[in-house]
Amino acid sequence: MCGIVGFVGKTNCLPIVYNGLETLEYRGYDSAGIAYIYNNKINIIKEKGKLINLKDKLDFNISSKIAIGHTRWATHGNANKTNAHPHQVGKFTVVHNGIIENYIDLKNKLLKKGYQFKSETDTEVISALLDYNYKLEKDILKSINKTKNELVGSFALGILCSDDIKNIYALRYSSPLILASFTNGNFLASDIPAIINYTNKYILLDDLEIAKLNEDKITIYNKDLKEKKIKYHIFNGEKTSVQKNGYEHFMLKEINEEDKVFKETINSYFDGTLKSLNENFGFLKKYKKFDIVACGSAYHTGVIAKSLIENYANIIVHTEVASEYRYKKCFYDKDTLVILVSQSGETADTLAALRKAKNDKIKTMAIVNVLDSSIAREADYVIYTKAGPEIAVATTKAYVSQLTIFSLITLYLAYINNNLDKIEINNIIKDIKLLPKLIKKEIKNYQTYYNIADKIYHNKQIFFIGRGLDYANSLEGALKLKEISYINSVAYQAGELKHGTISLIENKTPVIAIATDELIIDKTISNIKEIKARNAYVIYVSNTKPKDIFYDDFIQIEKVHPILQSILTIIPLQLLAYKVAKNNKCDIDKPRNLAKSVTVE
Ligand code: M6R
């Protein structure tokens, strides 16, 4: 949530900071702003709405060598110009990603000291606190250090002080921040896309460390304000992974990468032998129960994993959304492994759930896409998904990579618990090898899904139904559709409809009915017939062509072992959601009110 970029160097910095913000706009797009030093003074330009609104207001030719910028996902106060960052109070100008939980107390204290506030934000309070502490300490670093100890919450900060126009200061706690150098200067940024055009080497700032950046160097100070040795990390991905490469939207590009992502994730942990699974997942043997905790789509992969691991490995799995789990009584013990699933590795609630488990001395494992993200760094075990950078706010390829990891884990646990015979194991391995081709084939069949999207895109509500695994698939299908098209799409267990929801079915109400599990397919079909009898418009998604026609449209998906099936089931639903959103002229990669990385509670 919120993207921040700062640059100080020998070259004109406004284009660099602006371009950096463009690459981070997926983190928030309610307003944007830049503070830059020109004529020895700090100038601030900000605008409501997307970053593009700022473009005309900036003079990219002026020679400014130091600037900080921000693209906002509003937390405190409306998405207007006053609340846009940077926020300046006294000598301090700040851009912020995170939430300050004690900002009201701090604000009251500062009001009593004579400070006045223009915005409703928590960030303006940070600027005032820095200014106040600076008056006491008479030293910028000490003032930042004092301020850091008074803030409660999460923060990644870029800071300018008018008494020191050669340096940018940075600080972080629980919100991501990286630093990087290239020949012409030094950066701070919320994420790698902002720096990748200049360098693939970056530094991770640890919690509560302070950084000072000038045109020559980056200095990092630890908690006691002692200089720390800098350690560089290398981003191994390709530059093109953060570009659209000719696709109209990142979402479409990312769906088209799913076969490659599946292959890369499989190849990282499985060479076709069970021995390789033992090498990578052997540590799981120690645990008798799993708690899977995540948010949004990542949570849905946990719902699927619960069904798979319980059915095939006979192990109890409890799956819960992180925002609930973090505050509830947990019945975990030393036999439990808490599994956190997150694309970004920065989701605030998932991170808090991890910290809660660690605090209770329960072992944790992260399934994470972003290298060295907070969740990856803090978990006891880390399994990386190999989706590469995902830019569209709606997750697609990262979701597939998370399902891929859970398929491997299920296979491994089922094997060590002797729940699968040799023939079934060999069939699964055969399907794993076949899957990239089948994923591609389904993506190529996009016109079928687009034709259906053209028929239903104008509806105000669309239902998804399924049983068991297919209910979990329905949850994700419904989320994908609603988040990018703003159509009210809700998932129900097919058997539950007649206990209330069926009253919502009217003439031609679209119902996307998913049935891939052959053990209960007939039961689902009976439920579909019940809604067809009430004139619903039924879109039937299945891996088996039915004997009779009880649907209006049929999406035939490829049939593979249930351990892998959900990876194929989701593809038509992602593409259908994409086309519905496109027909409705929605901003597909940046849906309203959302942001990619939810770093606030
Ligand atoms: O980065 P994470 O995987 O932890 O994010 C979790 C959710 O915020 C995320 O999956 C969200 O639901 C997506 N917008 C869904 O497309």
Q: Whose CA is nearest to atom 12 of ligand 1?
A: 296
> For a substitution probing ligand 1, which of 1, 326, 347, 482 has the most ligand atoms within 8 Å of its CB?
347
Q: Whose CA is nearest to atom 4 of ligand 1?
A: 342
Q: In terms of domains, do 414 and 356 share one?
A: yes
How far, in Å, from the CA of 302 to the mean position of ligand 1? 12
Total residue length of the chain: 601
For residues 502 and 530, the answer to whether their CB atoms sit within 8 Å is yes
Q: In terms of domains, do 353 and 482 share one?
A: no
Which token pair is 90? 């006294």
Kindly report the CATH number assigned to the domain that includes residue 86. 3.60.20.10
Task: Count other Cβ atoms within 10 Å, centred on residue 445.
Answer: 17
Ligand 1 proximity of 391 Cβ (cutoff 6 Å) = no
Ligand 1 proximity of 347 Cβ (cutoff 6 Å) = yes
- What mean pLDDT comes out for the span 419-423? 93
End-of-domain residue from the set 416, 444, 472: 444
Query: Residue 375 CA: which ligand 1 atom is closest?
Result: 4
Number of domains within the chain: 3
In the sheet with 316-321, reading across from the earlier edge strand, the strands are: 316-321, 289-294, 336-342, 363-368, 381-384
Q: In terms of domains, do 61 and 116 share one?
A: yes
Nearest to 129 by CA among 165, 98, 103, 167: 103
The 10s digit of each residue's pLDDT in 282-312 is 999 999 999 999 999 999 999 999 999 999 9
The 10s digit of each residue's pLDDT in 305-353 is 999 999 999 999 999 999 999 999 999 999 999 999 999 999 999 999 9
H, E, C per residue of 249-277: CHHHHHHHCHHHHHHHHHHHHCCCCHHHH
> For a substitution probing ligand 1, which of 481, 598, 599, 600 has the most ligand atoms within 8 Å of its CB?
598
- What mean pLDDT comes out for the span 69-91? 94
Q: Which of 156-160, 205-209, 396-400, 485-489 has the lowest mean pLDDT?
A: 205-209
Q: Whose CA is nearest to atom 14 of ligand 1?
A: 394
- What mean pLDDT comes out for the span 233-255? 86
Task: Indicate the SS3 state at residue 443.
Answer: helix
Task: Count other Cβ atoms within 10 Å, centred on residue 1.
Answer: 25
Nearest to 153 by CA among 193, 110, 101: 101
- Interatomic CA distance for residues 56 and 178, integer angstroms: 28
Whether 586 is catalytic is no
How far, in Å, from the CA of 214 to the mean position of ligand 1? 35
- Beta strands (DSSP E) in 49-184 are 66-72, 87-89, 92-100, 153-161, 164-173, 178-182
For residues 113 and 91, the answer to whether their CB atoms sit within 8 Å is no
- Interatomic CA distance for residues 70 and 84, integer angstroms: 8
How far, in Å, from the CA of 294 to the mean position of ligand 1? 9
Q: In terms of domains, do 322 and 412 share one?
A: yes
Ligand 1 proximity of 574 Cβ (cutoff 6 Å) = no
Ligand 1 proximity of 181 Cβ (cutoff 6 Å) = no
Q: In terms of domains, do 544 and 600 share one?
A: yes
Q: In terms of domains, do 537 and 568 share one?
A: yes
Ligand 1 proximity of 395 Cβ (cutoff 6 Å) = yes
pLDDT at 501 (0 to 100)? 87
How far, in Å, from the CA of 366 to the mean position of ligand 1? 15
Which token pair is 593? 């009110």
Ligand 1 proximity of 394 Cβ (cutoff 6 Å) = yes
Which residue out of 306, 579, 582, 596 is catalytically annotated?
596
Q: Which of 154-163, 400-409, 495-504 has the lowest mean pLDDT?
A: 495-504
Sign of dihedral through CA atoms 32, 37, 39, 40?
positive
Q: In terms of domains, do 135 and 225 share one?
A: yes
pLDDT at 318 (0 to 100)? 98
Query: Please, which residues have CB within 8 angstroms of residue 471's CB and are 6 or more apart in sequence?
Result: 303, 465, 491, 492, 493, 494
Ligand 1 proximity of 481 Cβ (cutoff 6 Å) = no
Ligand 1 proximity of 393 Cβ (cutoff 6 Å) = yes
Nearest to 557 by CA among 545, 546, 547, 549: 545
For residues 8 and 49, the answer to whether their CB atoms sit within 8 Å is no
For residue 573, pLDDT beyond 90: yes
How far, in Å, from the CA of 547 to the mean position of ligand 1? 38
For residue 427, pLDDT beyond 90: yes
The amino acid present at 364, given as its one-letter code, is T
Ligand 1 proximity of 296 Cβ (cutoff 6 Å) = yes
End-of-domain residue from the set 411, 444, 477: 444
For residues 176 and 203, the answer to whether their CB atoms sit within 8 Å is no
Q: Whose CA is nearest to atom 8 of ligand 1?
A: 296
Q: In terms of domains, do 151 and 37 share one?
A: yes
Q: In terms of domains, do 356 and 275 share one?
A: yes
Nearest to 16 by CA among 50, 79, 72, 66: 66
Q: In terms of domains, do 359 and 466 share one?
A: no
Whether 596 is catalytic is yes
How far, in Å, from the CA of 482 to the mean position of ligand 1? 14
The 10s digit of each residue's pLDDT in 205-216 is 999 999 999 999
For residues 348 and 599, the answer to whether their CB atoms sit within 8 Å is yes
Q: Whose CA is nearest to atom 9 of ligand 1?
A: 296
Domain encompassing residue 487: 445-601
- Interatomic CA distance for residues 375 and 595, integer angstroms: 18
- What mean pLDDT comes out for the span 514-536? 93
How far, in Å, from the CA of 426 to the mean position of ligand 1? 33
End-of-domain residue from the set 213, 236, 259: 236
Q: In terms of domains, do 432 and 575 share one?
A: no
Ligand 1 proximity of 396 Cβ (cutoff 6 Å) = no
For residues 520 and 395, the answer to whether their CB atoms sit within 8 Å is no
Radius of gyration, alpha carbons of the chain: 25
pLDDT at 240 (0 to 100)? 67
- Interatomic CA distance for residues 423 and 463, integer angstroms: 38
The 10s digit of each residue's pLDDT in 381-414 is 999 999 999 999 999 999 999 999 999 999 999 9
How far, in Å, from the CA of 341 to the mean position of ligand 1? 10
For residues 102 and 147, the answer to whether their CB atoms sit within 8 Å is no
Q: In terms of domains, do 34 and 146 share one?
A: yes
- Interatomic CA distance for residues 379 and 364, integer angstroms: 5
- CA angle, 163 then 112 then 172, to 5°: 50
Confidence class for position 64, pLDDT limits 50, 70, 90: very high
pLDDT at 358 (0 to 100)? 97
Kindly report the CATH number assigned to the domain that includes residue 599. 3.40.50.10490
Which residue out of 2, 161, 330, 586 is catalytically annotated?
2
Q: What is the mean pLDDT of the chain?
A: 95
